[in-house]
Structures are given as C-alpha cells and as structure tokens.
Amino acid sequence: MLTHLPILQVILPLVAAPSCLIIRRASLVWLFTLAVSVAALAVSVLMLQQVYTAGPISYTLGGWQAPWGIEYRIDLLNAWVLLIVSGLSSVVLAAAHTSVAREVDSNRQTLFYTLYLLCLAGLLGIVATGDVFNVFVFLEISSLSTYALIALGRDRRALWAAFQYLIMGTIGATFILIGIGFLYMMTGTLNMADLAVRLPALGNSATVLAAFAFIFVGICLKLALFPLHQWLPNAYSYAPSIVTAFLAATATKVALYLLLRFTVTVFGVELSLASLPLESLLIGLGLVGVFAASAVAIYQVDIKRMFAYSSVAQIGYMVVGIGIGTATALQATLLHLFNHALMKGGLFLALAGLVYRVGACRIEHFRGLGGAMPWTMAAIVVGGISLIGVPLTVGFVSKWYLIAAAVDSGLWWVAVLVVLGSLLAVAYIWRLVEAAYFQPPADATRGEAPIGLLAPTWLLIGANLYFGIDTRLPVEVTAAAAQFLLGGAQ
Amino acid sequence: MTESTLLQLALLIAPLALVGIQLTGRWQNLREVVSLVAATTLFAVVVSLYQPVLDGREIAAHWLDILPGLALAFRIEPLGLLFALVASFLWIVTTVYAIGYMRGHGEENQTRFFGLFALSIGAVMGIAFAENLFTLFIFYEVLTLCTYPLVTHAGTDKARQGGRVYLSVLIGTSVGFFLLAIVATWLLTGTLTFRAGGIFAADTDPALLSILLVLFVFGVGKAAIMPFHRWLPAAMVAPTPVSALLHAVAVVKAGVFVLLKVCLLIFGLETLKSIPATEWLLYLAGASILLASIVALRQQNLKKRLAYSTVSQLGYITLGALLATSAGMTGSALHIVMHAFGKITLFFCAGAILVAAHKTEIDELRGIGRQMPVTMTAFLVASLCIIGIPPTGGTWSKWYLMLGTFETQQWLLMGLLMLSSLLSIAYLLPIPLRAFLSGEGGEKPLVDGAGEASAIREAPLPSVIALTVTAVGCVCLLLFPDTFYQLIKSGI
C-alpha cells in the first residue's frame, strides 16, 4: 500500500470526481469530496514523512521503467507542495458547504464538487509527476475544470472572466506544449530526470533555448507573473468565494512549483540562471510586480479584487526568491509558497463569510464591520498583518529569509525594495481597518458569519500565527528542500 | 525564587491580572482589589530585583527562538529596571486614582478599561526588559494595540478620530521606519542583542549609520519628536487616568526609553558621537522642544496644553541621549523619572478638576484653588518639577542636561533649554497661581461646569490621595535621587 502512495495521491481525487455525479445530493457530495480531500492530505503527509527520512520516492506507472514509462517522482520539493495543496484544499472544502449553498445554484452544486475534485486531481498530478508531458495533461485537467468553476459564479461577468482566463490559460498551456515538443525533439525523452541529464550535453542550442523560452512564458502566464497577470483579478473577483480561496491558496503555488522545477531541475541552474539573464529578469519582473500590483490594490473598491492584486504582488516576492537563486532565497520562496497559501486561504475564506452575509464585499460593506462581524473582521486584520509581514506571523518569516538572501548575495537594493513593498501592503490593509473600525456601520442588521465558515477561516488564520511563532516545521522542511534542489541539480 | 523567575513573574503578572479582572468583572470592588494586588505585587517584584541589578548580576530569561538568531528573550539592565520601577509604582497610584475617577465620572465598560490597562503595563514590562530589538519591537507594537481601545474608550466620533491619528502615526512610523531600521541593523551586524558599547563594527560607513539613526529617531513615534508628535495631543480624548499613566508615563517613556537604549546599547556613545546625523537630530530635538513649548502656550484646553508640554519635555530626553555624553545620558534617564512624577500629577489634577468641577478649559480655573486647595497645591508642585526648579526632583535632571550641553559646548542648545524652561514657566505656573490668587473681589464663587448648583468640592478621596502621593514624590525626588542615580550610573 505504502509503495503506491504517489499514484494514490492523484488517482484518488481523479476517480472520485465522476463518482460525485452518482451521489447527486449536495450535502452528501460535499461530505464525500471532503473525505477524499482529507484522504489526499493523509497521503501527502505520509509521503512527506517518508521523503524526509528516506529520500526521494520513484514510482513507475504500470511497472514500465523510466525513461520509457511514466515516472512519478516525489522529492522534498514536491512533497512539500503536495502537502500545501491537499491541506489547503481540505480546509477550504470544510468551509465550502455553507458558502456554496449560498453562492452556487442548487442544481449545479454536484457539478461544483465534481469540478473541484477534478481540479484538485489536476493540481496534485502536476506536482507529483516526473514526466513533462504528464505535466501538460494534468495542467489541462486542472485548467479546464478551473474555467468551469469560475464560470459558476452568480455574477454574469464571471462568464467573461472565465473566458478571458480560458484564452490566456490556453495560450500558456500551448506554449508549454510547444516547449515540451522541442525538448522531445532534441532529446527523445519526456522524463524530467532524464532530461536533466541529457540537456547539458546539447549546450546552448537554439532549439533548447526556444523550448526554454516557450515553457518559461507559458508557466509565467499560469503563474500570473506581472505583466502576464491580467486574467487573475477578474477570475478571482467573479468566481464563487470558495473557488477564489481554493485557487489563491493552491493554483498559483503549483504554477510556481512548475517554474522552479523547470528552471532548476530540468534545465538546471547552469542554463537557466547562469547563462541566460534570467536572474535579473526574474528579480526585475518580481519587484515591478510587487510595486505595480500593490499600488493598484490600494485603489480597488472590490476587496476580493484588491486581494487578487495583492496575490500578484506576493507572487512577485516568490519570483524574486527564484531570481536570486541561492539556497536561502529558494528557501524563502518555498516558505512564502506555504505562508502565502495560509494567508490568502484565510483571507478569502473570511471574505466568503462577508459575501455570505452581505452578498458582496466592496469597501463600503466594510463600514462598521468591526462591530457587526467581529470574528470575521479580526481574521481579516490578522491575515492582513501577516500579509504585511509583521513579526509573530508567517509573513514575517518568509520576508525575513528573502531579505537575508538578498543581502547575502550583495543585492542591497532588493532588500530595501522588499521592505518598502511591505509598506504598500500596509496602505491597502489600513483602508479595511479604517472602514471597519472607524466608520459607522452602513446597516446594523448583519450578524457574524456562520460557524461553518468561521471555523476553517480561523484554522488558517491561527496557522498564520502558530507557524509564525513555532517556525520549525516549515523552516526545516524548506531548508532541506532548497538544499536538495540545488544539490540535485548538479 | 531565582532572579530569572522573578523576571518572568514581572512579565506575567499583568497578563494574569487581565484574566483576573475579566473574571471578577461583575463585582466592582473585587475587580479593583485584583488590580491593586497585581500592581502592588508587580512593584514588589521589580523592587526585589533592584539590589541584584545594582550588584551587576546577570538576570535573563530565554523564551523561544522564532528564527535562528531571532529570539524572544529578556535580560535586565539598569535603565530597563529604572523604567520598570517607575511604571510599576505609578501603576499602583494610578489604579487608586482611576477607581475614584472612573466611578466619580460614571464611565462605562470599566472592566475592559482596567483589563487593558493591566495589559498595557505588561507590554511596558516587556519593553523594559527586552534583551534584543526584536523582542522590544513586538512589545512596542503590543503596547500600541492595547492602548488604542483605551484612547477610544468614550466611543464617540471625536474619540474615534483621535484613535485614528493615534494608531496611524504610531503604527505607520514603527512599521515604516523602526522595523526597517531593525532589519537593516540585523543585516549589518547579524545581531539585535543590546550590548554595552554598541553592536556596530568600527568601520561601518558613517553615512549608513546616519540613515539608521534617523530611522530610529523617527521610527520610535512614541518619543513624539516633531513632526511625528500629532498622536499625543490626539490621544487626549482618552479618560484622564489613561492620559496620566500611559500618555505621560508608560507609552511616551517607552518611546524615549527605546531611544536611550538604542543610543547607548545599539550605537554606543563613541559611535554616536562620530555620526554626522547626530548633530542634525540634536537640533531637530531642540526645535521640537521649543516649538512644542510655544504651541503649549497657546492651548486653552488643559489636557492639550499638558500634552504639548509632554512633547516638549520628551524632546529634552531625546536631546540628552543624542548628546552622547555620560552627563547627557544621566540627565535623560533622570528626566524619565522626574517628568513621569511631575506630569502624572498634573494629569491627575486635570482629571480631578474634570470630575469635581467638570471644567476642561484653562480660563475657567481662576479662583478654583479655594475650593480645591489640595489639587491645586499638587498642581503647583508638579509644575515646578516639570520646569525644573527646587523644591522638586526636576532640578536634578535639568541640571544634568545643562551639564551635558555645557560639556559638549553646544551653546545654542544650552540657550534653547533655558528659553524653553522660561516658556514652561509661562505655560504652567499661571494656572495654579491664578487658581489661588485671582477671582477675589466682587466675583461670585465658581459654579460647577455641568451647571449644577452645588458648590465645587475636592474630587473623590482615592483620586486626591493619588495626586498627593505623586506630588510628595516630586519633592522627595529632590532629596533622595540617589536610588535612581546609582542605577543610572551602573547602566551607563
């Protein structure tokens, strides 16, 4: 049983997805989905333990040996990301029942959970697999289900947002496919480990560089790296709240994982960071993203949209970490991957609570919210503080490592800009605090969000605080993962 | 009990008091007993640490490592103990005062008030005993956050307005400048631990150190150096005990205490002297002293005038620290104590006048000395203490500050200090003098500001006792400054 963990991780939600259609009753489907997601979480916990103690797991699908057959390869990096994805998915799902009942038409709720599981399967598949074509397949599974999930939003603009994402996402996926094609053409293999062995021999051939460019741009589209982020704010703001929370906590993280996997493992630091000017490109784009997106966030009226722009900014920080490229910097990125999932998961779930009560979450709905929904608002404030990066929250930990990494590499200006970027976060969080605690309530009839939403929200917000104080687990795992990543690339 | 246990006890008493106060919230008298017992115990604990610290014993407690090199840890050094002594003693007195004030004034949400009050003192202890900048920063922010509901206690629009300024200035400066300075310090030196003589290497670029010093001085918004002083007058919407203990003692003193500690234990006096920015900041502090005094002159609201006076006096402390001499430091540290006793008395008086006569404006106070002789006598004594003339303790701190400017031959600053002392005579002394001397002749006796026909009497007994105690303290400090002086000497 234990030897089959890697495939179980993916196959469980994949098979469970169509089964939802048989169950049909919304609350039963929800329970079933939740059970599946928790099972996936259990699998990823077991795998992380195994990888941490015994080293990487290689699993050959159907017994066909790599590089001919498909290999699932779990090392510390993807075990970590798998844990984040399945964990956040489970917490978000726990809140889904209450929120979805309110936000999705009742005849579509079964469909919703089916799509959710498909999306989860796709995301887990991307992370678990060690085969580049498999990456593309799972990418399409997760993307297609994501488009549909976004389109389930009640707001008619959700359709348009989904369509926009469909176009952009398809371009991204196609680029990735073209790149994979080039790689196959040059090396005759699709296995990541095998590619990593064969590619250095080819040197800087134009085809390899073209492959790299296509894959890089394709992934950046899915990642919503500035300036390819246009689809993200729309998609996040018009999708049902649960979908937003799910995507914000997992989808961008998986794209970031792909970026790391391709630049560091497949192409190797030699090619991607040393011989190409990728370092300055990633740092530059990341920082511009931080400032541009944060500045735009300050002026947003719709708060979901504001946090969506904030996500673009946070992705900037993670990309800066990859750009710096040292072990500490990669560790900062991996930490922020986890931390940002906790923050944004918690924040969007808190917003889901507001949407549940009010039906929307524009800035004027925040007026007097400190009195009307004290717990929800407190969650938003703590999440916001974590986003800013104040000590004793997780946000501080990852920023600390990022700054330390920048300075270790002599990039003083990057360190200063990272700190200044946090000030912009203060500006947009402060607007919410001011509205919620300093302005009189718009109407006094609102109550606190239901416990079904509040409990998962506070689970994540509490994790923001817990892992901000007891930092051992994330710091140790990411330190080992970053070491492994750089060591394994040679 | 070991000294380390005592240290941790000092940190934990106040949060425990919060729990006790919340639990006993329904029984007013019991709740007040909890406050008083906690305050007295805390003071006793801090006092028991006095001798060991004077003997140079190492007293520390290590709680946990957040990240490698970043720890939540505490270590007592003499200046911190000085600050803790003052804050914990005045907590007792303020609690007594607050009991009279809050009941006399019929304030609501008293349980919340006393609970947060205790928590604020807990944060002050954290600041006083912090072993490194990181720990200090955390408690600094906690103090801001738990005093905010106290500022907006009244819940009116005006209170909220004040609270907004309060929070935005304090959080803004601390995250924008202070945190930045802390991070930069760590990056430069790899440590945040306070150390005698400073932590910067001798060959650190002076330009960089200049920027850092500026960031620290502006970042510690609680020190209320102009132009980041606006929060202090804004905080005057709070109930008077809050203004008295927190905005004349705990919060503002936390600010200047942090500056003192940064100057002494992060930069070190030698380094501080050599930084170009020190000179500029000295003049900035001087300007802050003078401008705030002038503004104070023009305030008609009693608490506002006292607030601007505080801004001015905090400038003295900052200036003394930046002089980077032993005399300047001593003056600053002594002024933390002297000003604390003087200003808390003044606020106690202001509150007593409000409770007993419902008056807040200065020109309404003519002749009030005859109805409230104790209060106005205390006011007079405390004014002298702020100005710095005998028979009060303020004399000592002003003396050392003058000595500091003399030693460094900062004649301009010396003149400035004198001028500002004159100004403080002008804005403080007329209040008690007019209260006693004017208003005779044909004028009828003062009537209650609330329009009630009853004659004005002294404020409730607990309040009067409290303000008498602190006023007597002002005088005693003239006679026995040695307790504090020894402590300061061992710290510098």
The letter for the amino acid at A33 is T
> Which segment of A357-361, B123-127, B206-210 scores lowest on mean pLDDT?
A357-361
Residues 107-136 of B with CB under 8 A from A: 134
Spatial contact of A376 and A454, defined as CB atoms under 8 Å apart: yes
**Which pair of tokens denotes residue A333?**
């990125």
Nearest beta carbon to residue A426 from set B64, B175, B187? B175
- Does A423 sit within 8 Å of B66, measured CB to CB? no
Place of tokens 């008091």: B17
SS3 for A225?
A: coil
Chain B residues close to A422, C-beta within 8 Å: 175
Identify the residue among B151, B167, B179 best suited for mutation to test binding to A, counting A beta carbons within 10 A and taking the highest: B179
Which phi and psi (to 5°) does residue B181 adopt?
-65, -40
**Chain A interface, Cβ < 8 Å to B:** 388, 390-392, 397, 400, 403-404, 407, 415, 419, 422-423, 426, 430, 434, 438, 468-471, 475
SS3 for A59?
A: strand
- Does B176 sit within 8 Å of A426, measured CB to CB? yes
CA atoms within 13 A on the CB side of B68: 6
SS3 for B65?
A: strand
Beta-carbon contacts of residue B81 (< 8 Å; ≥ 6 apart): B46, B49, B50, B53, B128, B487
Q: Does B160 touch chain A (CB under 8 A)?
A: yes
Nearest beta carbon to residue B137 from set A391, A403, A407? A391
Chain A residues close to B162, C-beta within 8 Å: none
Chain B residues close to A475, C-beta within 8 Å: 67
Using 50, 70 and 90 to split pLDDT, how confident is the model at B441?
very low
Evaluate if residue A143 carries a pLDDT over 90.
Answer: yes
Closest chain A residue to B140, measured at CA: A391
pLDDT at A348: 93
Give me the torsion for CA of A102, A107, A108, A110, rounded to 10°.
100
* Nearest CA-CA distance, residue A433 and chain B, Å: 10
What is the average per-residue pLDDT within B284-288? 91
A73 C-beta neighbours (distance < 10 Å), count: 20
What is the average per-residue pLDDT within B413-423? 89
> Which segment of A97-106, A230-239, B136-145 scores lowest on mean pLDDT?
A97-106
C-alpha to C-alpha distance for A453 and A352, rounded to whole angstroms = 8
**Which pair of tokens denotes residue A11?**
């196959």
pLDDT at A384: 92
Spatial contact of B193 and B71, defined as CB atoms under 8 Å apart: no
Evaluate if residue A3 carries a pLDDT over 50.
Answer: yes
Share of chain A above pLDDT 70, in %: 98
Q: Which residues pair with A71 in a beta bridge?
A: A60
- For B442-489, what is each residue's pLDDT tens digit? 445 555 555 554 566 777 888 888 889 999 988 888 888 888 888 888
What is the average per-residue pLDDT within B424-431? 90
Evaluate if residue B136 carries a pLDDT over 90.
Answer: yes
What is the average per-residue pLDDT within A149-161? 88
Place of tokens 């946070």: A314
pLDDT at B129: 92
- For B326-349, what is each residue's pLDDT tens digit? 888 999 999 999 999 999 999 989
CA geometry: angle A473, A477, A478, nearest 5 deg? 115
Distances (CA, A) of B347 to B114, B165, B243, B379: 18, 21, 7, 9
- Does A475 sit within 8 Å of B183, measured CB to CB? no
pLDDT at A490: 38
Give me the torsion for CA of A187, A192, A198, A204, rounded to 10°.
80
Nearest beta carbon to residue A423 from set B64, B66, B175? B175
> Which segment of A243-252, B298-307, B341-350, B459-468 scores lowest on mean pLDDT?
B459-468
Is the ipTM value over 0.85, yes or no? no
Closest of A273, A304, A246 to residue A94, by C-alpha: A246
Q: Which residues pair with B74 in a beta bridge?
A: B61, B130
Closest of A303, A166, A333 to residue A241, by C-alpha: A303
C-alpha to C-alpha distance for B394 and B478, rounded to whole angstroms = 7
- For A92-122, what is each residue's pLDDT tens digit? 999 988 888 888 888 888 889 999 999 999 9
- For A307-356, what is each residue's pLDDT tens digit? 999 999 999 999 999 988 888 999 999 999 999 999 999 999 999 988 88
For chain B, what is the largest distance between any 2 Cα atoms, rounded to a whole number of angstroms? Answer: 75
Give me chain B's average pLDDT, please: 86
Spatial contact of A5 and A46, defined as CB atoms under 8 Å apart: yes
pLDDT at A334: 92
Beta-carbon contacts of residue B249 (< 8 Å; ≥ 6 apart): B86, B87, B90, B340, B343, B344
C-alpha to C-alpha distance for B404 and A182, rounded to whole angstroms = 76
pLDDT at A178: 95
A446 or A72, which is more confident: A72
What is the average per-residue pLDDT within B98-122? 82
**Which pair of tokens denotes residue A94?**
């726990």
The model carries a pTM of: 0.84
Closest of B204, B90, B199, B80 to residue B135, by C-alpha: B80
Residues A402-433, buried b or exposed e (16+ Cβ, 10 A)?
bbbbbbebebeebbbbbbebbbbbbebbbbbb
Which phi and psi (to 5°) does residue B322 adopt?
-75, -15
Chain B residues close to A470, C-beta within 8 Å: 64
The letter for the amino acid at A269 is V
pLDDT at B128: 92
Closest chain A residue to B162, measured at CA: A438
CA geometry: angle B262, B268, B272, nearest 5 deg? 90
Share of chain B above pLDDT 90, in %: 16
C-alpha to C-alpha distance for A132 and A228, rounded to whole angstroms = 23
Evaluate if residue B247 carries a pLDDT over 80.
Answer: no
- Does A434 sit within 8 Å of B164, measured CB to CB? yes
SS3 string of B358-424? Answer: CCCEHHHHCCHHHCCHHHHHHHHHHHHHHHCCCCCCHHHHHHHHHHHHHHCCCHHHHHHHHHHHHHH
SS3 for A72?
A: strand
Evaluate if residue B414 carries a pLDDT over 70.
Answer: yes
Highest mean pLDDT: which of A434-448, B426-440, B442-456, B462-476?
Answer: B462-476
SS3 for B350?
A: helix
What stretches of B115-238 adopt beta strand conformation (E)? none
Share of chain B above pLDDT 70, in %: 96
Radius of gyration (C-alpha) of chain A in whole angstroms:
21
* Nearest CA-CA distance, residue B182 and chain A, Å: 11
C-alpha to C-alpha distance for B261 and B196, rounded to whole angstroms = 10
Using 50, 70 and 90 to split pLDDT, how confident is the model at A444?
low
C-alpha to C-alpha distance for A160 and A234, rounded to whole angstroms = 9
Beta-carbon contacts of residue A359 (< 8 Å; ≥ 6 apart): none
Closest of B322, B260, B253 to residue B287, by C-alpha: B322
Counting every residue written for chain A, the total comes to: 490
Identify the residue among A335, A385, A393, A396 best suited for mutation to test binding to B, counting B beta carbons within 10 A and taking the highest: A396
Beta-carbon contacts of residue B302 (< 8 Å; ≥ 6 apart): B350, B353, B359, B360, B361, B362, B365, B431
Identify the residue among B139, B167, B183, B237 best suited for mutation to test binding to A, counting A beta carbons within 10 A and taking the highest: B183
Using 50, 70 and 90 to split pLDDT, how confident is the model at A445?
low
- Does B66 sit within 8 Å of A397, measured CB to CB? yes
